[in-house]
Amino acid sequence: MNEVIFIFIGFIALAIIFAFLRLLKGPSVPDRAVALDTLTTITTVLMVLLAYQMRRAILLDVALTYAIIGFIGVLSLAKFFEGRKQ
């Protein structure tokens, strides 16, 4: 079972790299905001997998808090872009 978790962590690390590249190369600001939201989601999944692997329940609380803060950040970015003219 440990090997499967490490394979998943490798795939998640690869997804983080691709999302980070989109964050850097995004053609527009909303694309970069979506890439940032994707990074938040992928990082939350990584924290949950690490919590399972290390058998630490406190990391689940950290992941939940991180997901909530990321969601609030995306909402604030959306509100900012809504009032902004293109």
Q: What does the alpha-carbon distance between residue 73 and residue 6 come to, in Å, rounded to a whole number?
A: 30
Q: What does the alpha-carbon distance between residue 86 and residue 67 come to, in Å, rounded to a whole number?
A: 29
Query: How many other C-beta atoms lie within 10 A of the C-beta of residue 35?
Result: 19
- Given a cut of 90, whether residue 80 has pLDDT beyond it is no
Q: Exposed, middle or buried by CB within 10 Å (0-12, 13-18, 19+), for 45?
A: middle
Round the average pLDDT of the chain to a whole number and report it.
89
**E strand map for 1-86:** none
- pTM of the complete model beyond 0.85: no
- Residue 22: band (very low, low, confident or very high) from pLDDT cuts 50, 70, 90: very high
pLDDT for the residue 86? 59
pLDDT tens figures, 43-71: 999 999 999 989 999 999 999 999 999 99
Instruction: Enumerate the domain spans of the chain.
Output: 2-82
Q: What does the alpha-carbon distance between residue 46 and residue 70 come to, in Å, rounded to a whole number?
A: 14
